[in-house]
Amino acid sequence: MASHNVEQPVLIAFCGLPGSGKTALAKQTEQLTGAVRINTDEWVADLAIDFFNDEFRERLQVRLYLLGVRLLQVGQSIIFEDGLWTRNERDAHRQVAHDLGAAIHLHYMDVPLDELWRRLEVRNSLAARGVVPISRDLLEVSRLRFEPPDEAELSLFDRYFVHTP
């Protein structure tokens, strides 16, 4: 039997609220690693769907994640930057990656609320394609739904990085 030196694929996941820098860092990571970047917001924009059509967004996010799982199965590393706001989401992604024999690296974007809002005000004013406009109220609602990972959870990942401003 021939020996294959195949590198272990990696699921590179991003965890953070809007404006925390997930996409900017994911794009850099894509360039450095050659991993395939999956970004639901960009797909929604390309398909000209309302960013706040939650039913469509959730269905698209599932389909894109399944594509990512298939890429991991064939040995391709992926970057999944959809925020992973809850512990349950992060646990599920970590389990899937490990079940597939892939490593999982988590980038946690730990940015204070006032800094997030400052960044979002700038981003909103640019109105760039593929960028979801986020109001202060929506940021507040998002913050209440967000479950930041603690040290015990972070230690469950193969590698983790905490990014602060």
The pLDDT tens digits for 104-155 are 999 999 999 999 999 999 999 987 776 788 999 999 999 999 999 999 999 9
Mean pLDDT of 99-108: 97
pLDDT-wise least confident of 3-7, 97-101, 145-149, 153-157: 3-7
**How confident is residue 1, by pLDDT bands cut at 50, 70 and 90?**
very low
The pLDDT tens digits for 58-93 are 999 999 999 999 999 999 999 999 879 999 999 999
Provide the residue ranges of all domains of the chain, joining segments of one domain with +.
Answer: 10-163
- Sequence-distant contacts of 128-132: CB under 8 A, at least 24 apart: 129/45, 130/39, 130/41, 130/42, 130/44, 130/45, 130/46, 131/41, 131/45, 132/18, 132/41, 132/51
Tell me the pTM.
0.90
pLDDT at 138: 94
Please check the confidence at residue 2 and state whether its pLDDT lies above 50.
Answer: no
CATH match for 10-163 among 3.40.47.10, 3.40.50.720, 3.40.50.300, 1.10.10.10:
3.40.50.300
Give me 147's structure tokens: 């479950």
β partners of residue 146:
none
**CA–CA gap between residue 60 and residue 140 (Å, rounded):** 25
The pLDDT tens digits for 10-53 are 999 999 999 999 999 999 999 999 999 999 989 998 898 888 89
pLDDT at 101: 96
